[in-house]
Structure 1
Amino acid sequence: MIPTSLAASKALAAAQQSLALLGTAQSLDEMERYWLAFVESIEKGWTKLELACPKTGSAPTNWKQKRMKQRKNDPLLLYLRHARNVDQHTLESTVTMYGPRIGLGLRPGATQGYVESFYIAPNGLPGPLIGSSEVRVSFEPAQVRLRPVTDRGTTYAVPTSHLGISLSSILPQHVGPLALRYYEDALAELNSILAAPQ
């Protein structure tokens, strides 16, 4: 690894660790804490990449201009930058927390049904339903979802795309890996530029 980009690599490793912890979080508060740690680390990684980039030479200059343009125009990268600012400099939350939801209803076409017994296990998951086959149980686990953020008077919507591809989910555990991959690719590209003979 090129020494000047070692700090960026460490920040991105911290971001990766935060994502791993997010996937095993046991509460909404933990989910939020690990997500915010990810956002902080990913933005720190960019700052270190920027500092590692030489100020002279066409290849480093082109790399930096390309990446800065993407950060300015890509909805996910732009959102993360401003979510970090909002978390660090305001009292506003960057996520909305939703508790687990359980629903009982009838299957399509059914007009009636009955439930003999149903319970929720200690882990918050629905237990087995004993009753008619017309009844269905739906379950949605606790989630932390991104929300619009307002940074210095400008509101940034929850991202719906990244690098021209529509996002299928706005959950942190789904968009985080996309951002991490982007910055890991940026690091690898910068390392190649720095390793090339000048």
Structure 2
Amino acid sequence: MDIQIFQRAEEHRSACGEKFDGLTNTPDFVVAARLWSEFLVNHHRWFTRMQQALQRGPSAAWLGELKARRGTDPLLQYLQQARHADEHGLERIVAAEAGGVGIGAGGGLVRIDRLEIRNGVITHLSGSQDGGPLKIRITRPHLKLVPVRNRGLTFNPPRCNNDGEPYSADQAAKECLDAMESIAAEAKKFFD
């Protein structure tokens, strides 16, 4: 166990947080794509430093479990392969996805009684869908994760646990940061 290498890993985790903040706050898709790429690089560096810091001593068995998790967790596996594809491949690893509003999501008979839009904002919407309330889907502009190719294999973006939709880059970064925080907290126990 090496506390200095662990501290270097924590610097990369901090850099991931900075990239995430930028990713969620920029309206520019080109900048967001660059920040996503930088997030993936720092995540990879974090994991590499964690391996180096924890490979000896009582933490070695725990590190084995962490490496196994990275190989089986769909999001962590995708992030690793996306970083490899971005660093060594030619294809884009994200696509700009414009936002929008879907009225009558899921199909069925839709009746709109009143719709008011002022300055690009829906200020009033009333109606029904199949005799019940309208189903509305709001999609914000985001970076969509796309299938990535690495060493002849294709890795599809994982789906979110909460809605079954593919992750956006910022959703994936947030969940990854949460996992990194939890893992770092567990790892710190080996240094106490």
Q: Same fold (TM over 0.5)?
A: yes
Residues 62 and 141 of structure 1, relative CA distance in 2, 3 Å threshold: same
Equivalent of 1:175, from 163, 167, 172? 172
Query: Does 1:34 pair with 2:35?
Result: yes
CA distance in 2, matches of 1:16, 1:109: 43
The equivalent residue for 1:75 is 74
Residues 188 and 128 of structure 1, relative CA distance in 2, 3 Å threshold: closer
CA-based RMSD of the aligned residues comes to 3.0
Residue identity over aligned pairs, in percent, reads 22
Residues 118 and 178 of structure 1, relative CA distance in 2, 3 Å threshold: closer
CA distance in 1, matches of 2:181, 2:103: 44
The amino acid across from 2:169 in the alignment is P
Residues 65 and 26 of structure 1, relative CA distance in 2, 3 Å threshold: same
Q: Aligned-pair distance for 1:113?
A: 6.8
Question: Which string of whole-angstrom CA distances, capped at 9 and with x for unpartnered residues, describes residues 33-55 of structure 1?
Answer: 22222111111110111111243
Aligned residues: 180
The amino acid across from 1:88 in the alignment is E
Residues 45 and 113 of structure 1, relative CA distance in 2, 3 Å threshold: same
Question: Which string of whole-angstrom CA distances, capped at 9 and with x for unpartnered residues, describes residues 61-96 of structure 1?
Answer: 111110110011110100000000011111111112
The equivalent residue for 1:44 is 45
Q: Aligned-pair distance for 1:141?
A: 2.9
CA distance in 1, matches of 2:27, 2:44: 25
Structure 2: give runs of 5+ residues left out of the alignment: 129-133
The equivalent residue for 2:145 is 146
CA distance in 2, matches of 1:176, 1:88: 18
Question: Quick check: which has more Rg, 1 or 2?
Answer: 1
CA distance in 2, matches of 1:155, 1:30: 25
Answer with 167-176 or 9-18: which moved more: 167-176
Equivalent of 1:191, from 157, 182, 188? 188
Greater relative contact order (Cα < 8 A, sep 6+): 1
Q: Aligned-pair distance for 1:16?
A: 0.7
Residues 66 and 129 of structure 1, relative CA distance in 2, 3 Å threshold: closer
TM-score where L is the length of structure 2: 0.78
Runs (4+) of structure 1 moved beyond 4 Å? 102-105, 112-115, 132-139
Residues 114 and 40 of structure 1, relative CA distance in 2, 3 Å threshold: same
CA contact (8 A) 2:99 2:140 kept: yes
Q: Aligned-pair distance for 1:2?
A: 3.2
The equivalent residue for 1:127 is 121
The equivalent residue for 2:18 is 17
The equivalent residue for 2:131 is none
